[in-house]
Structures are given as structure tokens and as C-alpha cells.
Amino acid sequence: MNSTSQTTQAGQKSVLVDIQDGIAWVCLNRPEKRNAINPAIVREMNEALDALEMDDACKVVVITGAGDSFSAGQDLKEYFREPDAGHPVTRERLHKANAQWQWRRMMHFSKPTIAMVNGWCFGGAFQVLLACDLAIANEKATFGLSEINWGIIPAGIVTKSVAMAMMQRTALYYIMTGEPFDGRRAAEIGLVNFAVPADELKARVTKLAQTLMQKNPHVLRAAKSGYHYVREMSWDASAEYLSAKSDQAKFRDPEQGDQQGMKQFLDEKTFRPGLGGYDRSR
């Protein structure tokens, strides 16, 4: 797939993938179950992300949900009750496969990712949301760490993700009360970048994806990877790692962005780095 305006329907029942002008719209597709994450979504999301990472037609991934939901979190029947009653190894494998797409693969995905939160977003869906690099919500979407309401803690890796993304008072308030909140509040507490009216959501996400597509993809990949790793490192280790990462990014960058940027700013005086990017067409 290499056309810039190609549409791809992967033909998967629970996850739909549609690539348009470089943006892969990945849609959780169980609207009748509020896109609750079941074993089929786990399997199909792993497959979809695998394929998109290798597909040159995909420059940015947007995760969203069909109907009026982003996702109602893990499926209480198919992800919890049924596997809990089955063979322990089957359950363990399902949880590992889920962690694979929701956390390991998404957080370190080699292309930029945006969560487009169109509606309901609960429990395990926070993991999907926080594993995406950026997020824009419908201001009327409803969010909630609802686990406490039915007798479990926010597990998987949700509590850790929330602790990284929210202030302590805010995180514990929502973890301990399970109180729902809307998209505007999600933007206020930094859980999403912006909240916009529903009818502007897709256009705003498209605009953000287009901004990301203008950047050097090799440097973008190194920048997000660097961010995630240094969060867990000491200051000295971070400085050493970032220095090595920076050299690696320059070494591997086929468009030699730093050389272009310096030349266009210092010698040709054709752009200002503080106000926008260098001309990548040269």
C-alpha cells in the first residue's frame, strides 16, 4: 500500500482499519457492546498494529471507536468472567496479549498515535488512551475509572499510567470514587490535549495528524521513544541515554534533518525553527 489516498478495509469484524491520506483510522468495532475489549479485539488490534507499522501508506495512527463509544473498557464477560472460569494458562495468555497491544506495542509504536475519544471511555480504555502519544476528545465524552464501582482495582497497567499522567490528588480522587467526568474536565486535568464539540472532532484530529506528518518521521520516533525511556531513568542516565539516542537518530536519519535545518536557517535564512519546520522537500 503506497497511495496517499488509499482506503483499506482489513475485513476484520471487531477492528476496522481505513487508511486515508497517510492517516490510519483504527476503529474498535463492537458498538452494540460499547466497544468493550474482548479477545477478538485483543487479537485483531495486535494484528492491525503489526500490519500498520510495516505499511508505508500509514504515517499516523488514530484510535477511535464505532458508534457512541470510544471503549467501555475490558469486556466483563469475555475478558474477565469466562477466562477466569477457564484454564489459568489461557487467561494468562489473554492478559499478556492484551498488554502487548494496549501498552508495550502502542507506547513504543514507531509512528505517531492519536486517541480520538468520541464517547464512553472507561477502565481499561484509559490504558489505550494513555498509550497514545496525543489525545483529543469530544467535550461531551464520558470518562471514568469505574473499576471501584464493581469491586476491582484499576489493574493491568492502568493505575501506573494514571499515576504518570495525573496529579496525585486528581488520580486518587477518580480511582477512589469512580466518579465519571466529561471531555472538558479530561482536558483540564491533562488526560487529553483538547476537548472539542463532537462535530469538530474528526477535523481537529485530522489537522493534528497533518501537523505530525509534516515533521521528520525518524526524529519523531526517536523523540517519543526517548521521552518514554527517560521517565524511568536517573538524571545522569537520562543525559547519557539522550546523548546516545540523539547520535543514533542523526546517524539513521535518511534525510539528514539536522544538516538541512542548520543550512536553511544559518546559511540560506529561509525559515525560523522557532516558528515552524524546515523544508523537507529538498
> What is the contact surface with ligand ACO in residues (CB under 6 A)?
33-34, 36, 72-77, 120, 122-124, 146-147
Cell numbers 496479549 label which residue? 97
Q: Which lies closer to ligand ACO via its Cβ, residue 148 or residue 223?
A: 148
* Cβ at position 73, least distance to ligand ACO in Å: 3
* Cβ at position 99, least distance to ligand ACO in Å: 12
* Cβ at position 171, least distance to ligand ACO in Å: 16
Select from 218, 203, 213, 216 the least CA-distant residue to 113: 213
Phi and psi (nearest 5°) for 187? -70, -40
Q: Which lies closer to ligand ACO via its Cβ, residue 35 or residue 206?
A: 35
Give the whole-angstrom CA distance, residue 167 versus residue 157. 17
State the pairing for strand pair 142-144/134-138: unpaired
* Cβ at position 98, least distance to ligand ACO in Å: 10
* Cβ at position 213, least distance to ligand ACO in Å: 32
Burial label for 12, CB within 10 Å (0-12, 13-18, 19+), is middle
Q: Which lies closer to ligand ACO via its Cβ, residue 149 or residue 248?
A: 149
Give the whole-angstrom CA distance, residue 233 versus residue 163. 16
Q: Which lies closer to ligand ACO via its Cβ, residue 44 or residue 147?
A: 147
Q: Which lies closer to ligand ACO via its Cβ, residue 52 or residue 157?
A: 157
Q: Which lies closer to ligand ACO via its Cβ, residue 117 or residue 220?
A: 117
Label each residue of 114-160 as H, E or C: EEEECCEEECCHHHHHHHCCEEEEECCCEEECHHHHHCCCCCCCHHH
Give the whole-angstrom CA distance, residue 156 versus residue 96. 9
Q: How far apart are the first and last CA of the chain?
A: 24
All cell numbers assigned to 156:
493491568
Q: Which lies closer to ligand ACO via its Cβ, residue 126 or residue 194?
A: 126
* Cβ at position 12, least distance to ligand ACO in Å: 19
Number of other residues whose CB lies within 10 A of the CB of residue 19: 24
- Neighbouring residues of 269: CB distance < 8 A, sequence distance ≥ 6: none
* Cβ at position 50, least distance to ligand ACO in Å: 23
* DSSP letter (8 states) at residue 36: -
Q: Which lies closer to ligand ACO via its Cβ, residue 133 or residue 147?
A: 147
* Cβ at position 83, least distance to ligand ACO in Å: 13
